[in-house]
Amino acid sequence: MTDYGKGSVLGAATTLPTTSAGVLLLSNGIHPMIVLGFIIISSISTLITISYLFRYLKNRTK
């Protein structure tokens, strides 16, 4: 079976910011632009996950 959904690439893309950004926060001296980049990506990831959640709840067969 082939699939290519949230579980693989998009999954990694939407869950990785939590861990990677968290690890980076622990280290000092991160450039403000990089932190800003993480803020943008984390925000997009959050929106994607919320969107999936709502669409699933709307579409599932009751």
Partner 1 sequence: MLHCLEGASCVRGESVTSMRVDCPIELLYNHWLMFYSHTVLLIDLIKDYFPLNIKRQPSKNSYKKNYTSAILIPTYCPTKTTYKLIKSIKRWNPEARIIIIDDKTPLSKKNIPVLNRIKQFAKDNKNIKYIRTKNNSHKAGALNYGINKLLTTKNTPQIIFTLDDDVIVNKDTFNLMKKSLYSGRKIAAVCSFVRVINKNVNLLTRLQGLEYHSFNLTKIADNTFLNGPLVMQGMLTGFRTSALKKVHGFTIGHLIEDYDITARLKGKGFKVKIEDRAQAWTEVPESIGNLWKQRVRWTFGGLEVVKLSLNNIMVVFQDFLGHSIFISLFILILLSLFIYNGGNSLEIEHKALLVIIPFLYLITSIYNIILLTSYKDGDWKDWILKLSIIPELFYSDLLTINLIGTYLFFIYKNISEKLIKRFRNLLPIYNYGSKLFLKLGYSSDWGTKEISKKGGITI
Name residues whose C-beta falls within 8 Å of residue 49's C-beta, 6 or more positions apart in sequence.
14
Are 27 and 10 spatial neighbours (Cβ–Cβ below 8 Å)? no
Please state the closest distance from residue 35 (CB atom) to partner 1, in A: 4
Please state the closest distance from residue 26 (CB atom) to partner 1, in A: 11
Chain residues binding partner 1 by CB under 8 A are 1-22, 24-25, 28-32, 34-39, 41-46, 48-53, 55-61
Rounded CA separation 50/44 (Å): 10
Please state the closest distance from residue 46 (CB atom) to partner 1, in A: 5
